[in-house]
């Protein structure tokens, strides 16, 4: 039976946050370089897809087999990232285009591995998203 695994992401100029209640997992990372909020949001999505792709190497295969039958939905409060990723809006900024291309390549790799992944916009007031937001702000001054 297929089920949906929800992953919430958020970012600020100093860090990214990733959270999933279903996976019982949260992650935060400091962004060392100077970035805009939009660049940070793209980094959060890219990091999430890297983690999804890496899970197949970090497990004995059982987790991967069970997750492949599910749909992973990544929720972001960035309308820009959600709409650009889903090809509803054009990516015009050169730096964002670089992040977009890297993210799409990782996404295609994950699809080739049999994962189903969707990226959707969500209100920043969603309680689960607020945990990702808190994780992203861990390194704020």
Q: Residue ranges of the domains in the chain?
A: 4-139
- State the pLDDT at residue 114: 73
- State the pLDDT at residue 65: 55
Long-range CB pairs of 100-109, under 8 A, 24+ apart, other chains included: 100/42, 102/46, 103/42, 103/45, 103/46, 103/49, 106/46, 106/49, 106/50, 106/53, 107/49, 109/53
The first and second tokens of residue 15, run together, are 């860090």
> Strand, coil or helix: what is 9?
strand
CATH assignment, 4-139: 3.30.420.10
Q: Exposure pattern of 60-88 as b/e (b: 16+ CB <10 Å)?
A: eeeebeebeeeebbbbbbbebbbebbeee
- State the pLDDT at residue 23: 81
The first and second tokens of residue 35, run together, are 């970035």
- State the pLDDT at residue 13: 96
The first and second tokens of residue 55, run together, are 């899970």
Pick out the chain residues at pLDDT < 50. Answer: 59, 61
The CA-based angle 117-12-85, given to 5 degrees, is 30
Residue 110 to residue 115: CA distance in whole angstroms: 6
- State the pLDDT at residue 25: 86
- State the pLDDT at residue 103: 96
pTM over 0.75: yes
């Amino acid at each position: 039976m297929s089920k949906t695994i929800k992953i919430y992401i958020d970012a600020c100029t100093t860090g990214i946050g990733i959270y999933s209640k279903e996976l019982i997992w949260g992650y935060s990372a400091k962004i060392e370089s100077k970035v805009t909020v939009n660049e940070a949001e793209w980094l959060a999505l890219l990091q999430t897809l890297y983690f999804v792709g890496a899970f197949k190497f970090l497990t004995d295969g059982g987790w991967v087999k069970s997750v492949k039958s599910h749909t992973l939905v990544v929720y972001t409060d960035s309308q820009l990232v959600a709409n650009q990723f889903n090809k509803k809006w054009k990516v015009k900024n050169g730096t964002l285009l670089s992040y977009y291309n890297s993210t799409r390549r990782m996404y295609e790799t994950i699809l080739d591995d049999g994962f189903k992944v969707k990226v959707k916009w969500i209100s920043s007031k969603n309680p689960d998203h607020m945990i990702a937001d808190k994780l992203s702000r861990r390194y704020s001054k």
